[in-house]
């Protein structure tokens, strides 16, 4: 008798030396394979299917396009994402859409302010702690601020102000100059008496007025700003809470 008995009964099983299990089907008078064991070695199985628990960076059984990140899409598929340009940051575009590399925004909606190192004013102004004020009736009076530029870029001057009486519009001009750091008395006029009026539509509400023109600064520049009041608009006071350099 060989491997299969000639007098096998229905459902009888036999196993060969390789571990393959056969079962007899009497209705069809044939043997069929039920189970295969030990056909492949463990190493052979690993080569075909690979170990299920392992780190994704195992280069023996995973590969990817160079310089990519991975995220999963709405169907649970792993997707490659190419690196963004230099200086961009990975940004969420929503809980159901792919992330993207975008330009980095500043902490204030992309706006960065530089406060002055020194703040002073002509004799018509008065100081009260952290702000300066002057009568709306005064003319020809100026307020000054000095800065050191911390970042090369394009700037505006912003003035934070309010009025103790309203409405009031104080006409004025803004002048900006820059000295190159370490350079002896060489001032570059960036804004020269450009019109810049401070409009207060309501009393005791702070407004921010921006210079009309922008100007370029280089990191390390020493910057001087002067705002001069040019009209008489009556009683009450104009209050300056701050003069700032703004880069966008």
pLDDT at 72: 86
Torsion of CA 227, 231, 232, 237, to 10 degrees: -20
Q: What is the pLDDT of residues 116-130, one digit of tens each?
A: 888 899 999 999 888
ω into residue 167 within 30 of 0, thus cis? Answer: yes
pLDDT of residue 182: 60
Identify whether the C-beta of residue 141 lies closer than 8 Å to the C-beta of residue 229: yes
Report pTM: 0.58
User: In terms of domains, do 50 and 152 share one?
Assistant: no
Question: Tens of pLDDT along 140-149?
Answer: 999 999 999 8
Q: Tokens representing 139? A: 């003319």
- Residue 241's H or E segment, with its range, is strand 237-247
Residue 39: predicted pLDDT: 59
Same domain, 1 and 69: no
Tell me how many domains the chain contains.
3
Segment 163-180 shows an average pLDDT of 92
DSSP state of 105: P
Are 30 and 153 in the same domain? no
Same domain, 81 and 116: no
pLDDT of 1 over the 60 cut? no
Is 117 in the same domain as 197?
A: yes
> Which of 248, 227, 247 lies closest to 238 in space, CA to CA?
227
Same-domain check for residues 169 and 235: yes
Q: Are residues 8 and 87 in the same domain?
A: no
Instruction: For residues 151 and 170, state if they share a domain.
Output: yes
What's the CATH number where 173 sits?
A: 2.60.120.260
Q: Looking at residue 242, what is its pLDDT?
A: 92
Q: Which domain range does residue 34 map to?
A: 1-63
172 and 149 in a common domain: yes
Q: How confident is the model at residue 2 (pLDDT cuts 50, 70, 90)?
A: low
> Which residue spans within 54-197 are E strands per DSSP?
68-72, 78-82, 88-91, 100-103, 112-114, 118-121, 126-128, 131-135, 141-148, 153-163, 168-170, 172-179, 187-195
Last residue of a domain, one of 63, 78, 96: 63
Q: List, for residues 25-71, the tens digit of each pLDDT value.
A: 888 887 877 766 655 666 666 666 666 666 665 556 667 788 888 88
Instruction: Calculate mean pLDDT across residues 18-26.
Output: 80
Position with higher pLDDT, 225 vs 96: 225
- More confident site: 217 or 115: 217
């Amino acid at each position: 008798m060989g491997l299969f008995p000639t007098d096998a009964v229905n459902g009888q099983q036999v196993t060969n030396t390789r571990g393959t299990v056969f079962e007899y089907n009497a209705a069809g008078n044939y043997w069929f394979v039920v189970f295969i064991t030990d056909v492949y070695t463990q190493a052979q199985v690993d080569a075909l299917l690979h170990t299920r628990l392992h780190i994704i960076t195992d280069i023996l059984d995973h590969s990817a396009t160079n310089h990519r990140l991975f995220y999963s899409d709405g169907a649970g598929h792993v997707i490659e994402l190419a690196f963004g340009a230099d200086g961009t940051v990975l940004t969420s575009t929503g809980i159901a859409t792919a992330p993207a590399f975008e330009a980095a925004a500043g902490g204030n909606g992309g706006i960065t302010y530089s406060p002055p190192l020194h703040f002073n004013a002509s004799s018509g102004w008065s100081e009260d702690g952290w702000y300066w004020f002057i009568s709306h009736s005064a003319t020809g009076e100026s307020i000054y601020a000095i800065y050191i530029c911390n970042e090369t870029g394009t700037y505006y001057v912003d003035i934070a102000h309010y009025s103790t009486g309203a409405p009031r519009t104080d006409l004025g001009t803004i002048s900006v100059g820059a000295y190159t750091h370490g350079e002896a008395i060489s001032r570059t006029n960036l804004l020269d008496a450009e019109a810049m009026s401070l409009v207060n539509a309501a009393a005791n509400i702070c407004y921010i007025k921006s210079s009309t023109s922008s100007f370029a600064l280089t990191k390390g520049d020493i910057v001087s700003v002067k705002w001069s009041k040019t009209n008489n608009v009556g009683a009450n006071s104009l209050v300056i809470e701050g003069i700032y350099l703004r880069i966008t």
